[in-house]
Each structure stands twice: as C-alpha cells, then as structure tokens.
C-alpha cells in the first residue's frame, strides 16, 4: 500500500473517528467540572480544624488520588445502576456517563490537593493580619485568601484537564465507543495490517493537537502568575 492510499483511507475514516473524539472531549469536560466542584469541597475540608470534617476529607482525597483510574472506572461502570427511577420516570445512564462519573473521582482528589496547596502557599502573615483586623477564619478564607489562590490554581488545573483527556481512552475497555474504540473498529473493518500504524498515528495526532495548546497556555500562565 502506497503512502497516498494510506492517507486516503485515514481521511475516509476520519469523520467516524472524530465523532468518537467528540465523546472523549465531552467526558473530559463533564468530569473536570464535576471533579472541580467536588475537589473544592474536599480541599477546603482538608483545611478544616474540625476533625469530623478534616479527617474524612483527607481520607477521601488520598484514597481516590492513589487508586488506579481504571479500577475506579470499573467500579462506576459495573456498580452504578443502568437506569434510575425518578418521579415515576426511568432515566437510562449510558456507559459513557457512568465512565464520566468514574473519572470525576480521581479528578476531585487531585484538585483537592491543588486547593489545599494553593491555600497553604499564601503567607501565614495574611491570616494573622486579617485576625488582627477582626476577620473570622471563614471571612479571611473566602474574602482574602481564596481570591489570591485562583491564579495559583489555574495552571495545575489546566494540566489536570489535559491529563484527564488523555486518560479517557481507558473507557474503551468498559465498552464506551470513543475515539480509540472507533480507531480499532476502523482498522479491523479495513482488514489491512498496513493501516494499523497510520490510523493510530492519526489518533495520536488528534490528542496531541488538542492537549498541546492547553499545556503551552498553562506554561505561559505559570510564568505570568509566578507559580513555577
């Protein structure tokens, strides 16, 4: 098979694979949103002086942060119900949605550490100054400390998103028809081993050109915010 024939075959199958890649993007966006929301609560929980709040938050953070993503994915895929009944209505939970929830747990744990680290990076003197001015700990956290933390959290949050997107092909193992699964199906449909490398190179390029600008922007923001 010539290079031009291989390129033509890749172009022919590209719309089919791009639809799967769109599902990768959708899962990553939903998982980062869910994980960010949960991770914010976990991160602030780790900073709480109440043991009933701090201890469970630290436990959950370390558990989901150090657990293999694929194991968490399997748990959500096979333990979550295939449909739920709400107000007499049956709502089907497709595989990709359950996989998204599975990805959101490690994202939440990692973002929890980002929040904790950003808050702890603020000089302790600002806490003392706010206390001297009569601010409560809660007011100091939300009015003084957290606004400063946003710029510190954005670069690692963007890197976390890029990492999440590159992890979404794991969902193929549990039956989600995303870009990797569709690439495999395209190779099998052509029944030509010579197309194996061109098809997977196209898939690799797809992920690279999506995540590379995110990583570059993250590096730029690190330099601008002085968070190296």
What SS3 state is found at 90? Answer: strand
- Residue 67 falls within a domain, yes or no? yes
Q: Alpha carbon of 54 to those of 27, 41, 112: distances in Å?
A: 30, 11, 12
Split at pLDDT 50, 70, 90, the class of 179 is: very high
Q: Give the structural domain span for 183.
A: 3-223
Over 60: is that where the pLDDT of 228 sits? no
CA distance 149 to 171: 33
Q: How many CB atoms within 10 Å of residue 5?
A: 13
- Residue 83 falls within a domain, yes or no? yes
Token readout for 64 is 């989901």
Complete DSSP assignment for 62-73:
HHHHHS-HHHHH
pLDDT computed for residue 227 by the predictor: 52
Number of domains in the chain: 1
- Residue 215 falls within a domain, yes or no? yes
CA distance 121 to 69: 28
Q: How many CB atoms within 10 Å of residue 28?
A: 23
Handedness of CA 62, 66, 69, 74 (dihedral sign): negative
Decide: 165 and 210 in contact? Cβ < 8 Å. yes
Q: Can you tell me the mean pLDDT for 98-120?
A: 94
What SS3 state is found at 55? Answer: helix
pLDDT computed for residue 141 by the predictor: 83
- Residue 213 falls within a domain, yes or no? yes
Split at pLDDT 50, 70, 90, the class of 93 is: confident
Residue 191, by phi and psi: left (phi above 0), alpha (psi -120 to 50) or beta?
left
- Residue 93 falls within a domain, yes or no? yes
- Residue 192 falls within a domain, yes or no? yes
- Residue 228 falls within a domain, yes or no? no
Decide: 192 and 1 in contact? Cβ < 8 Å. yes
CATH of the domain at 33: 1.10.3720.10
- Residue 160 falls within a domain, yes or no? yes
Over 70: is that where the pLDDT of 16 sits? yes
Handedness of CA 80, 81, 87, 89 (dihedral sign): positive
Q: Can you tell me the mean pLDDT for 47-62?
A: 91
Task: Supply angle C-alpha 21, 23, 29, rounded to 5.
Answer: 105
Task: Supply angle C-alpha 23, 220, 214, rounded to 5.
Answer: 5
Q: Is the pTM of this model over 0.95?
A: no
């Amino acid at each position: 098979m010539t290079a031009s024939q291989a390129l033509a075959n890749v172009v022919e199958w590209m719309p089919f694979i791009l639809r799967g890649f769109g599902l990768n993007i959708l899962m990553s966006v939903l998982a980062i949103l869910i994980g960010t929301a949960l991770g914010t609560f976990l991160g602030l929980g780790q900073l709480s002086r109440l043991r009933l709040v701090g201890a469970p938050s630290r436990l959950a953070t370390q558990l989901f942060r150090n657990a293999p993503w694929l194991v968490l994915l399997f748990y959500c895929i096979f333990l979550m119900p295939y449909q739920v009944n709400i107000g007499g209505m049956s709502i089907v939970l497709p595989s990709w949605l359950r996989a998204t929830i599975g990805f959101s747990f490690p994202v939440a744990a990692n973002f929890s550490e980002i929040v904790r680290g950003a808050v702890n990076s603020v000089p302790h003197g600002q806490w003392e100054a706010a206390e001297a001015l009569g601010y409560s700990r809660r007011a100091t956290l939300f009015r003084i400390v957290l606004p400063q933390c946003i710029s510190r959290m954005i670069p690692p949050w963007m890197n976390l998103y890029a990492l999440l997107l590159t992890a979404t092909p794991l969902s193929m193992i549990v039956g989600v028809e995303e870009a990797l699964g569709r690439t495999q199906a395209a190779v099998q449909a052509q029944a030509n081993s010579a197309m194996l490398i061109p098809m997977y190179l196209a898939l690799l390029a797809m992920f690279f050109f999506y995540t590379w600008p995110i990583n570059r922007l993250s590096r730029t923001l690190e330099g601008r915010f002085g968070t190296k």
